[in-house]
Chains A and B, each alone.
Chain A
Amino acid sequence: MTKLTKKDVLHVAELSNLKLTDSEIKKFLPQLTKIIEFVGTLSEVDTTNIEPTSQTTKLVNALREDVTTSSNSLNIDEYFKVKAILSKRT
């Protein structure tokens, strides 16, 4: 398995929109390395022909009726009203 480098940590921090201090980078690098190594033991498990599980309910497309009720509509009095900013495309 590839070893985690400082460059990886900076890349992942950027993907995560996190600004890390130097001391955080220094602290996180060995910690994350250890965790990644630990979870990497999953590579030992044979998962040939096994489907991934993303949820356990077996429900598919649990949707509500598309109707407007007082609980799912906004009360316009609680908002600021401003003039339209965008004009219709001509």
Chain B
Amino acid sequence: MNIPLTIKETQDGLKSKKFSAVELVDAYLAQIKKYNSEYNIFLTVTEELAYAKAKEIDRGDKTSHLAGVIVSYKDIFLTKGVRTTAGSKILESYIPPYSATSVSRIEAAGAIPIGKLNCDAFAHGSSGENSDFGVTKNPWNKEYVSGGSSSGSGAVLSANMSLISTGTDTCGSIRLPANYNYAVSLKPTYGAVSRYGVIAMASSLDTVGPLGRTVDDVETVFNVIKGVDGLDGTVTNSKFVTHNAKFRIGIPKEFLVGGIDKEIEKNIQDVINTLKSENVEFVDVSLPTTKYGISTYYIIQPAEVSSNLGRYDGIRYGNDRNSFGEEAKRRIMLGSYVLSAGYYDAFYEKAMKVRTKIISEVDEVFDKVDALIAPVAPTPAFKIGEKADDPLTMYLTDIYAATANLCGIPSIAIPSGFSKNELPLGFQLMAGRFNEDILFKLGKMYETKTNYKPKTAF
């Protein structure tokens, strides 16, 4: 059978009895068996759970939002009774006693869980190379990284091993793998989706969001996972504003100068022209302090990491702190340094103040525009090993991602073609807090105008 590529195709096929949910699981598992050992996408495959849930769907209700949808989770989402490693050897034998809220909600909506996905250990990385279980290769070209830290969450879609996936985004970790794999993804507003049961990295920046192949699918999953669960104090049931007016998008001049790949620059210009032809207005805007975004992020994030990883003391989770990989050690030490006596004011306090400045500049711009457009990353996917010896160069991969996390605003990453090397290209749109609706509307407008079709590598 041909594996369906969207939620609608899946549910139409199930309702018209073109295939059963069990046959769907057969097809996905065959794909996993064929390619997983080569690409290292799944850390755990939950075959039994998938068949049990598929039988339930075949017997019963096919009307719930995600009925029959095959889902896989970044291995940082706790799954009751199923090993959850966070990509780290420290947790290599950890079996959680409960599931994350987003996992429970996705499954309550009828989705079929097929497994747990590789990622950079504790979500520290932009390439997937920091996983203690080995790098995830990009299905579009296995010499290239699939992006990080949700490396498996991106690759699982281009490898056609899952219909949707989940990821976490602290500074681009959902958007980058989606971008490198020709997938759509949403980093939601901070406080829109509960992080209960998701292993913490940097708590003032961490967000949970969906990856899929169309804006529609990502919106559907977002609607399933959003909202208060009473277990994450940052979450509110904010009124998501609906917009029907003509849109105005800002082009931040700081995001399109210096160091950006020519192909990406041209691709963004094409996207702008496409949206202009749909009557969207573009204006130049300036966010001068965002050029300090990645520096601000690389103080605040390690500080919070050093605190969150304090709990892995060898008592509660088995393996001791010697089991941390190199990147976790670097970040813990950076964090301890910027928080330590004598350096706190110059680094941590300073970064929190610069964060305020970036937020107020961005807020001010959103008085004038509905959304901002930017590249997801400065280059298309890079080769495995290319940046591995130089952590700072790796950190700069996330230079365009930092603004959304520091400000707590939503950002959607959307595919927009391929490079001359046949690697996926994409762009991101950001909006004000709880304005996800603007991002979905603009994304769908772009997909319709370009007659977008989901694509997988094999």
Q: Taking beta carbons and an 8 Å cutoff, which residues of A are in contact with B?
A: 1, 8-9, 11-13, 15-20, 24, 27-28, 31-32, 34-36, 38-45, 47, 50-57, 59, 62-64
CB distance from B311 to the nearest CB of A (A): 11
> What are 28 A-B pairs at a CB distance below 8 A?
A1-B346, A9-B333, A18-B324, A18-B333, A19-B322, A24-B329, A32-B333, A36-B334, A36-B337, A39-B299, A41-B295, A42-B347, A43-B350, A45-B350, A45-B353, A47-B350, A47-B354, A47-B356, A50-B353, A51-B353, A53-B356, A54-B204, A54-B352, A56-B190, A56-B433, A57-B234, A59-B234, A62-B234
Q: Bound complex: CA of A16 vs CA of B302, how far in Å?
A: 12
Q: A38-B295, A39-B295, A47-B354 are in contact. Are A57 and B321 (CB under 8 A)?
A: no
CB distance from A64 to the nearest CB of B (A): 6
Known: A15-B340, A39-B295; 7 extra A-B contacts, CB below 8 A, are A31-B390, A35-B334, A36-B337, A39-B338, A42-B296, A52-B356, A56-B408
Partner of A52, one of B233, B338, B353, B407: B353
B337:A12 contact, CB within 8 angstroms: yes
In the complex, which residues of chain B have a beta carbon less than 8 angstroms from the beta carbon of A47? 350, 353-354, 356-357
Which B376-410 residues sit within 8 Å CB-CB of chain A? 390-392, 395, 407-408
CB distance from A81 to the nearest CB of B (A): 20
In the complex, which residues of chain B have a beta carbon less than 8 angstroms from the beta carbon of A8? 337
B392:A62 contact, CB within 8 angstroms: no
Which partner residue on chain A sits nearest B191 by CB separation?
Answer: A57
Q: Bound complex: CA of A38 vs CA of B326, how far in Å?
A: 20
A53:B352 contact, CB within 8 angstroms: yes
Which B324-350 residues sit within 8 Å CB-CB of chain A? 324, 326, 329-330, 332-338, 340, 346-347, 349-350
Q: Bound complex: CA of A70 vs CA of B267, how far in Å?
A: 54
Partner of A16, one of B289, B332, B359: B332
Assess whether B121 is interfacial by the CB under 8 Å rule: no
Assess whether B306 is interfacial by the CB under 8 Å rule: yes
CB distance from B218 to the nearest CB of A (A): 22
Partner of A50, one of B204, B230, B334, B356: B356
Which partner residue on chain B sits nearest A21 by CB separation?
Answer: B322
What string of 1s and 0s marks CB contacts (under 8 Å) between B405-446 and chain A? 001100000000000000000000000010000000000000
Assess whether B351 is interfacial by the CB under 8 Å rule: yes
Q: How many residues of B are in contact with the other chain, CB < 8 A? A: 49
Partner of A42, one of B204, B313, B350, B359: B350
A42:B333 contact, CB within 8 angstroms: no
Partner of B236, one of A11, A27, A42, A57: A57
Q: Bound complex: CA of A46 vs CA of B332, how far in Å?
A: 28
In the complex, which residues of chain B have a beta carbon less than 8 angstroms from the beta carbon of A1? 346
Q: A16-B332, A24-B329, A41-B295 are in contact. Are A52 and B321 (CB under 8 A)?
A: no
Which partner residue on chain A sits nearest B351 by CB separation?
Answer: A42
B356:A55 contact, CB within 8 angstroms: no
Q: A35-B391, A39-B347 are in contact. Are A57 and B190 (CB under 8 A)?
A: yes
Q: Bound complex: CA of A35 vs CA of B349, how far in Å?
A: 17
A18:B332 contact, CB within 8 angstroms: yes
Q: Bound complex: CA of A1 vs CA of B345, how far in Å?
A: 13
Q: Bound complex: CA of A34 vs CA of B390, how far in Å?
A: 10
In the complex, which residues of chain A have a beta carbon less than 8 angstroms from the beta carbon of B359? 53, 56
In the complex, which residues of chain A have a beta carbon less than 8 angstroms from the beta carbon of B322? 19
